[in-house]
Amino acid sequence: MPPSRQPYDEMHAAPGDIRNHYQAFSNWLAATPAERLAHKRAEADMLFHRVGITFAVYGEEAGTERLIPFDIVPRIIPAGEWRTLAAGLKQRVRALNAFINDIYHGQEILNSGRIPPEQVLCNGQYRPEMQGIDVPGGIYAHIAGIDVVRAGEGEFYVLEDNLRVPSGVSYMLEDRKMMMRLFPELFARYSVAPVEHYPDLLLENLRSVAPLGVSDPTVVLLTPGAYNSAYFEHAFLAQQMGIELVEGQDLFVSDEFVYMRTTRGPQRVHVIYRRIDDDFLDPLVFRPDSMLGVPGLLAAYRAGHVTVANAIGTGVADDKSIYPYVPEMIKFYLGEEPMLNNVPTYVLRRKEDLAYTLDHLSELVVKEVHGAGGYGMLIGPAATREQLAQFRQRIIAAPEKYIAQPTLALSACPTFVESGIAPRHIDLRPFVLSGRDVTLVPGGLTRVALREGSLVVNSSQGGGTKDTWVLER
Partner 1 sequence: MLSRTADDLYWMARYTERAENLARMLDVNYRMSLLPQASEVVERSWTATLSIIGLLENFKQRYEAVTPANALAFMAFDRQNPSSIYSCLRAARENARSVRGTVTSEMWETLNSTWLEMKSMDGRSATEAELGNFFEWVKYRSHLTRGVIQGTMLRDEPYHFTWLGTYLERADNTARILDVKYHMLLPHGEGAGGAADYYQWSALLHSVSAFEIYRKVYRDLITPRRVAELLMLRDDMPRSLHRCMSQVYMHLCSIRNDHSAETERRAGEIQASLHFGRIDDIFHIGLHEYLLQFLGRIRDLGERVAQDFLVATTKD
Q: Tell me the closest approach of the beta carbon of residue 466 to partner 1, in angstroms.
A: 23
Which phi-psi region, left, alpha or beta, contains residue 298 (left: φ > 0; alpha: ψ -120 to 50)?
A: alpha
Pick from 4, 34, 185, 264: which binds partner 1 (CB under 8 A)?
A: 264
CA atoms within 13 A on the CB side of 385: 0
Q: Tell me the closest approach of the beta carbon of residue 206 to partner 1, in angstroms.
A: 15
Per-residue x/- mask for partner 1, residues 208 to 227, rule CB under 8 A?
A: -------------x---xx-
Q: How many chain residues bind partner 1 (CB under 8 A)?
A: 27
Based on CB atoms, which residue is closest to partner 1, 47 or 110? 47
Pick from 59, 128, 265, 288: which binds partner 1 (CB under 8 A)?
A: 265
Q: Tell me the closest approach of the beta carbon of residue 65 to partner 1, in angstroms.
A: 9
Q: Does 262 engage in binding with partner 1 (CB under 8 A)?
A: yes
Pick from 38, 39, 42, 52: which binds partner 1 (CB under 8 A)?
A: 52
Q: Does 245 engage in binding with partner 1 (CB under 8 A)?
A: yes
- Among 135-143, 181-189, 248-256, 282-290, which window interacts with partner 1 (CB under 8 A)? 248-256
Pick from 50, 351, 385, 473: which binds partner 1 (CB under 8 A)?
A: 50
Based on CB atoms, which residue is closest to partner 1, 43 or 153? 43
Based on CB atoms, which residue is closest to partner 1, 259 or 431? 259
Q: Tell me the closest approach of the beta carbon of residue 168 to partner 1, in angstroms.
A: 18
Count of Cβ atoms closer than 10 Å to residue 358 Cβ: 15
AA identity, residue 357 = T
Give the contacts of 284 (CB within 8 A, at least 6 positions apart).
295, 296, 298, 299
Q: Does 256 engage in binding with partner 1 (CB under 8 A)?
A: no
Pick from 4, 20, 263, 419: which binds partner 1 (CB under 8 A)?
A: 263
Pick from 79, 260, 339, 421: which binds partner 1 (CB under 8 A)?
A: 260
Q: Quick one: how far is CA 323 from the chain centroid?
A: 14
Interatomic CA distance for residues 365 and 442, integer angstroms: 30
Q: Does 49 engage in binding with partner 1 (CB under 8 A)?
A: yes
Q: Tell me the closest approach of the beta carbon of residue 216 to partner 1, in angstroms.
A: 18
Q: Does 250 engage in binding with partner 1 (CB under 8 A)?
A: yes
Query: CA 225 → CA 199, 276, 392, distances in Å?
Result: 20, 10, 38
Interatomic CA distance for residues 201 and 39, integer angstroms: 35
Per-residue x/- mask for partner 1, residues 224 to 243, rule CB under 8 A?
A: -xx-------xxx-xx----
Based on CB atoms, which residue is closest to partner 1, 309 or 412? 309
Based on CB atoms, which residue is closest to partner 1, 27 or 239? 239
Interatomic CA distance for residues 189 and 433, integer angstroms: 30
Pick from 249, 331, 396, 422: which binds partner 1 (CB under 8 A)?
A: 249
Interface contacts to partner 1, rule CB under 8 A: 49-52, 221, 225-226, 234-236, 238-239, 244-247, 249-250, 252, 254, 260-266
